[in-house]
Chain A
Amino acid sequence: MPSDAKGLSSLLLAVADDELIIGHRHSEWTGWAPHIEEDIAFSSIAQDEIGHANLFYKLLSEVDGRTPDEIALGRQRGEYRHAIVCERPNGDWAYTLARHFLYDSAEQVRLEAFAESSHSPLSDVSEKLLREERYHRFHAEAWLERLANGPVEGRHQISAALISAMRDAVGLFEPIEDEEVALADKVMPNTSEELLQKWLTEVTKRIESAGIVLDLASKDGAELLPTSSGELPQPLEDTTQPASISYRDGRWVLDGTLSGFGGRRGAHSEDFTALWDDLTRTYREAPAATW
């Protein structure tokens, strides 16, 4: 156990919240997916992510004192530390798949790093989760392959969706709070910046090999569908300055306004307001109760 658990706590909270919020979003497709067999498959992925969150909250509970459910469902909006990309509404199937691909690639990079963590419960859990993640990545890549190499409309849809999702997904590697402490303890073996570099190399290679060009300045965004509760969400904010991700002098450089940052400090978008309300509604009706 590290002498100062601050770094460990921040790390676990960020990762657990990412898993919970994206699992929550994925689970919203249950009953609605565009192909019944796919509905069943994606529902398992949703359950996996929520299960992963539970495992990380359990690790956190050991240093925190609150129960996993209290941590997961008992906080105010500003106390959540997930990346903004996770809270975006599902939009349509293209956006969901694009986000799924980017998120699970990030998970892979992250878990591989944490498998070397000085905190052995974390390294054990990370190794275990990598086995489930293999299937998530297979699923995302099979869809990316199929859409990129299939009929024209599917190609347009996935390209536009990758652009939309990428603008926010970089926020997955926003530095966590107390990152210096986590690094000093080697609880976190690599910096967020190092992980971002690794992730960008992998996803851009994968996307390019599927024959897709990521021009983030493009005005195309994914067309948004009503959320499964029936309400039409506001379209994603149009970034006013052109954004880009380019490779210069041996590293990836982010320019312009990318919308996905702030989550690691608890600064979330309007999208999280309705999500938090849903997520915590029943729990808040009787916080001390068992269900």
Chain B
Amino acid sequence: MTYEDKLAEFKARIDSKDKIETNDWMPDEYRDAVLKFIEMHANSEIMGALPEREWIPRAPSLRRKMSLTAKVQDEVGHAQLLYRVAEDLGKSRESMFEDLINGRTKFHNVFHYPTEHWGDVAIIGWLIDGAALVTQRALLDCSYAPYTRVMRRICSEEQLHLRHGEDITLELANGTERQRWMFQDGLDRWWEPIMHFFGPPSNPAKDVLLRWGIKSKNNEELRGEFLDHYVPRILDLGFQIPDTGLHFDESTGHWVPGEIDWTIFWKIVKGEGPSTQARLSMRRKVWDHHRWVREALSEPLWSAA
């Protein structure tokens, strides 16, 4: 078969919703696109652990100390699952880590921001994980089968995280004035990053990920799903959403955001988020220092005799 024939056959498989496995023939464009997508997802999980883990030492009860550790452990677990899938597509973990800490590859915008108090833990645990679940559910239909298999586990764990996050939120919502303030203050700072999380409106015709069946829904649709689900739930608790243009469109029956300002989003894409360089440089320091650990792990044990 010529390359063109193989390519056409592959495209036909994608269009008929067939699933691609690790050892199947795939065109480079597909391999590169799916690897880059999964690598970014894996990067986001390992970098996403950082803002949240700040609050493990500062958790306000023993049970939350354990449950937050477990939750962040799950996120690191997701990174492990995703890096393995990416590694099997042909890039070593070492290379991926080097690219991440040197700013050559990306991670989701929401993980470039600092956290300030326990209210941020509630926001991240409920709303950001909620946003992630909306996008991740849409990936269950991805054409690349190894990714969908890990997504099933990831989605079921994110469901749990959502409950955990909602539990933390409701304690604040039903709590003291100070506790209610913590949630509202978090919401004021995190609303814009959450809107940015779904990405700017894109041209479906040019979307490589849609073409190869890696993504099945576009950014607008996903943002809309998030708003429809969470806006009423946030308002029910008596909190204010810091978006004066946000409104319910009677004609469509959906929540619509106000005008979104993408300035900070584009800065983050260039690696200029508020916490980007601090976090990456810390990762670089720990990575460089622990070369001896990687060396010790890579060798089979030999005895001193």
Whether A24 sits at the interface, judged by CB under 8 Å, is: yes
- Contact check: which of B61, B83, B117, B296 meets A147 at CB < 8 Å? B296
Contact with A along B57-83 (1 / 0, CB 8 A): 111111111100110110111011001
Contact B69 A30 (CB under 8 A): yes
Is B290 at the interface (CB under 8 A from chain A)? yes
How many residue pairs bridge A and B at CB < 8 Å? Answer: 157
Q: Which among B156-164, B174-182, B217-225 touches the partner chain?
A: B174-182
Q: Is B302 an interface residue (CB 8 A)?
A: yes
A280's nearest neighbour on chain B, judged by CB, is B58
A290 touches B295 (CB 8 A): no
Q: Say if the beta carbon of B50 comes within 8 Å of chain A.
A: yes
**What mask results when residues 115 to 143 of chain B are scored 1 for a CB within 8 Å of chain A, else 0?**
00110000000000000000000000000
Given the complex, which residues of B lie within 8 Å of A229, measured CB to CB?
A: 54, 57
- Contact partners of A157 in chain B: CB under 8 A: 292
Please judge, given known A-B contacts A27-B57, A40-B80, whether A149 and B289 are in contact too, CB under 8 Å: no
| Docked-complex contact A279 and B76, CB < 8 angstroms | no
Cβ of A20: which chain B residues have Cβ within 8 Å of it? 62
The answer on a CB contact under 8 Å between A283 and B77 is no
> A230, B278: Cβ atoms under 8 Å?
yes
Q: In the complex, what residues of B have CB within 8 A of residue A36's CB?
A: 46, 76, 79-80, 83, 93
CA distance A216 to B138 in the complex (A): 58
**Residue in chain B with minimal CB distance to A54:** B62
Chain B contact surface mostly: helix
B250 on the A face (CB < 8 A)? no
* Option from B69, B77, B178, B179 in Cβ contact (under 8 Å) with A46: B69
Q: How large is the interface on B (under 10, 10 to 19, 20 to 34, 35 or more residues)?
A: 35 or more
Chain B contacts of A44 at CB under 8 A? 73
**Are B175 and A286 in touch, CB under 8 angstroms?**
yes
Rounded to whole angstroms, the CA-CA distance of A107 and B199 in the bound complex is 50
Find residues 142-163 in chain A having any chain B CB closer than 8 Å to their own CB: 145-151, 153-154, 157
Decide if B171 is an interface residue (CB 8 Å cutoff). yes
Q: Please tell me if the beta carbons of B56 and A289 are within 8 angstroms of each other in the complex.
A: no
Are the CB atoms of B80 and A151 closer together than 8 Å? no
Chain B residue, CB-CB nearest to A156: B292
Q: Of the listed stretches A65-73, A190-198, A249-257, A262-270, name the one at the interface; the rest are far from the partner chain.
A: A65-73
Q: Are B290 and A291 in contact, CB atoms less than 8 angstroms apart?
A: no
A contact residues around B179 at 8 Å (CB): 286, 289
User: Taking each of A31, A47, A285, which has the highest tally of chain B beta carbons within 10 Å of its own beta carbon?
Assistant: A31
Contacting A at CB under 8 A, from B274-305, are 278, 282, 285-287, 289-290, 292-297, 299, 301-304
Q: Are A278 and B293 in contact (CB under 8 A)?
A: no
Out of A31, A154, A282, A291, name the residue touching B49 (CB < 8 Å): A31
A residues near B301, Cβ cutoff 8 Å: 145-146, 149-150
A35-B297, A40-B80, A154-B296 given; A92·B289 CB < 8 A: yes
Contact of A39 with B by CB under 8 A: yes
Closest to A41 in B: B73
Bound CA span A43–B292, Å = 21
Give chain A interface residues in 209-234, CB to chain B under 8 Å. Answer: 211, 223, 225-226, 228-230
18 contacts between A and B (CB under 8 A): A30-B49, A31-B50, A32-B286, A34-B293, A47-B73, A54-B63, A69-B62, A146-B296, A149-B303, A149-B304, A150-B299, A153-B295, A157-B292, A228-B53, A281-B58, A282-B117, A286-B179, A289-B176
